[in-house]
A = this chain, B = another copy of it.
Amino acid sequence: MTEELTDLLAGSRNLVGRSSTVERVADVLRGHIIDGALAPGARLSEEAIGAALGVSRNTLREAFRLLSHEGLLVHEFNRGVFVAKPTAEDVVDLYRVRRALELSALRGAAEASDEAVALVGASVEMGQRAFDSGDWWGLGTANMRFHQAIAGLAGSPRTDEIVRRLLAELRLVFHVMSAPREFHAPYLEQNKEIHRMLCEGRLDEAADRLGGYLDVAERQLVDAFAELDDPRSQAPA
């Protein structure tokens, strides 16, 4: 069973070249986790992964600690580390924190820098390009960047870091959505609208819009989880 993982990760070995080994290992693993190559719940063997990436167990364990604190891995004492497996409650919690931080940033955006506002616009354009080329996962990425940019309006390094962490966890959640297009596409127009309101200084209005849209997205995800747990639906493993 470790065969597949080993083969999977071996392709990343040549990328390991400079800077801190621990950081690079964490980057590689993070990438494999958020793009689904390492599925939620999968166990990460120290020996197998270490061999696949060509790093020692000590170094690998430090990378595991990093990703555990980012919420992408969970560490069970004397049992190993596993890819985090978010539940419906996690979705609710993630959206609770997002609402608090993103809406607060948007409502206080009168003092935001021009560059921060420009990043919001850039993410909207990126989403449009992804939509035009039918790249639905790219559309999801653009949507992530939109929310990161909204949070960035606060001009707060800690908010940026926290939201980055939340969105990475949310990437894991999105893997339960079987229809990425139908899920992500409707939000492109909403993002455009919110960006417009932002540029016109209608901040409270924009925040209300964003709040409502987060509510809908949350419910959609929770429903998707309920469907998975529900035995009468034909859940594909």
Contacts and interface: CB of A to CB of B under 8 A. Distances in A.
Q: By DSSP majority rule, is chain A's interface helix, strand, loop, or mixed? A: helix
A104 B99 contact: yes
Interface residues of A, number: 27
Contact of A101 (B77, B100, B166): B100
A210 to B, nearest CB: 14
B159 A100 contact: yes
Total copies of this chain within the assembly: 2
Contacts of A105: 100
Interface string A208-231: 000000000000000000000000
A94 interface: yes
A166 B158 contact: yes
A93 B157 contact: yes
Interface of A: 19-20, 22, 58, 61-62, 65-66, 69, 77, 93-94, 96-97, 99-101, 103-105, 154, 156-159, 162, 166
